[in-house]
Structure 1
């Protein structure tokens, strides 16, 4: 059965790149937007096909999430044989547990919504929580872009470089980078004050006089990176600081905040569309080959082990 790729409006350039790598073209689709904000997706030609709907649910998260759900429903009603949601950036993944009695678990709500529209499989890239698979009724393929970014870093980082986790939640990720780069790891301990303000408190590891690579799964406001950089420079790290993250929402005043840090480079992937006015210190690598490889393996019933997160 032929692969049929359907694009949402969140990141059509990535969909085109994935389809090109697979030697096909996206299915014709349209999202009608009504004056009151309602969406009406129309998808053609998916009858009997193995359909992959590609849509990251980044900013504006709610709009893109609802659009994804409606696209999936349209494909199911259009007769898709199988239905896979390819969500490179999975919004609400940070809401994987309750901190207070009256809070929602957003990741579970989204997982249930995907199940309600008949999704057979979910493909994500470096989700913020490894618990996502346990929340979903359908199989979840959690791909990782770490080898993509580590391959770039390996060519340009000195042997004395230290890989830094900017908080305790990023330790396993930092260890993954460190294994690939064959570099030591240091860890910053932080305390989040608000959604944008972070207080970094101490550093475990030796960075004195050494270049560092700070790694994280995503950079949203830049607050965590800013706090980590301050701690590293206070500990005597070399001025040569690189930051690498799979996802770069870069919301609010993130560009301005990061520009003030005088980073050597910020390296992210294109799981989300990059800003048209990209600063010279921001570099983007594509996950289109990774997604195309995964889709091709799913089509051919081949294992995805080498593409997936290893915990």
Structure 2
């Protein structure tokens, strides 16, 4: 049994709307007000980060909600400094809720004299006093092994499956899941299995990071409703090229489902002008006003699943149960009802 009356949440500045939404959902589930801890997180004139927690956290089960999205370095430092403040204030346990885990793309040495930054970040998180990490759709699953503490990696595919079965009701026989590269096949296959759809792959060859030299489609996409599935969309170059390639290969229409909407540089403009009929992202990264105003981008909330996962961790019950549709559907309370 937990020793405290309820879990305590604290948020950095990276995605305050998501943190507040998680708190609201937890309040609804618990039947008592679960607010965000009153704290001050600000910067000195030289941009050093300062944190002061105004509430007593001694012996409390603390959850820091802080994606390490752009600006990645600032948000990461906020997370580490908040953890240090809580540890020195005698918090019982500190869990980092990192909806989007930055530096995850640097998960191995791709060539000589390059860093494995994801491992470095993992070391920093552990050294800061964090005892558990809760995240969503890590870019590479092996990053869980970089930590010597428990890591719960939630998946967006069960949420996407519910949404797809609602949005494409009546045309599910024509739906085909597409992986935008060979590395994402496992993710795409898992979603295809959930909705009992066929799978296709776009094989891409990169000349250098951010530039795609050549793309080919593996599989017959003729007259199919193609759904590209990826864990993140950064500049949207690969996504838009893949969508055009699928149309050129006879696809009826192309949609995209992406967990993390990084949306750097020309991403919004590219998606707006692309052949993508719709693109679905989650709110693990706080969407900009430009993203929210784009007519073919739709945002799915992650607060329901994160709120339930936090409650499960606090109660000592299964987090992996949230990967199953019968468990997830009530969490979203008919949001995807047809």
Q: Please report the TM-score for the alignment, with normalisation by the length of structure 2.
A: 0.88
**Residues 1:92 and 2:113 are matched in the alignment:** no
Contact 1:200/1:228, CA 8 A, preserved across alignment: no
| Shift of residue 231, structure 1, vs aligned partner | 2.1
| Equivalent in the alignment of 2:268 | 255
2:28 matches 1:15? no
Cα shift at 1:234: 2.1
SS at match of 1:22: helix
Q: Deviations over 1:165-210 (max 9, x none)?
A: 0001111111111112211000010122333322342211110111
Q: Which one has the bigger helix percentage?
A: 2
Pairs within 5 Å for 1:59-138 = 59-138=70-149
Alignment match, 1:3: 7
Q: Structure 1 regions of 5+ residues with no counterpart?
A: none
Corresponding residue to 2:175 among 156, 161, 169: 161
Which deviates more, 60-69 or 221-230? 221-230
CA separation in 2, counterparts of 1:191 and 1:40? 44
In structure 2, which of residues 27, 38, 45 is the aligned counterpart of residue 35 of structure 1?
45
How far residue 308 of structure 1 moved from its aligned partner, in angstroms, is 5.1
Aligned counterparts of 2:321 and 2:181: Cα–Cα separation in 1: 27
Question: 1:147 offset after TM fit, Å?
Answer: 1.3
What's 2:206 paired with? 192
- State yes or no: 1:50 paired with 2:61: yes
Q: Is the CA contact 1:149–1:268 (under 8 Å) kept in the aligned structure 2?
A: no
**Any idea what the Cα deviations from partners look like across 1:186-239, whole Å, max 9, x if unmatched?**
00101223333223422111101111100001101112212212321221111x
The equivalent residue for 2:217 is: 203
Greater alpha carbon shift after TM alignment, 99-108 vs 81-90: 99-108
> Contact (CA 8 Å) 2:8, 2:37: kept in 1 or not?
yes
| Cα 1:243–1:70 shift into 2, 3 Å | same
Alpha-carbon distance in 2 for matches of 1:250, 1:198:
18
- 1:267-307 deviation per Cα after TM superposition (whole angstroms, max 9, x unaligned): 01100111113211110011101111111111111011223
Matched residue of 1:9: which SS?
coil
Q: For 1:249 and 1:156, how far apart are their aligned partners in 2?
A: 24
Aligned residues: 308
Q: Specify the alignment match of 1:149 in structure 2.
A: 160
CA distance in 2, matches of 1:198, 1:152: 30
Partner Cα separation in structure 1 for residue 42 and residue 222 of structure 2: 56
CA distance 1:112–1:126, change in 2 (3 Å): same
What is the SS of the residue equivalent to 2:289?
Answer: coil
Contiguous gaps of at least 5 residues in structure 2: 28-33, 325-338
1:288 aligns with 2:292: no
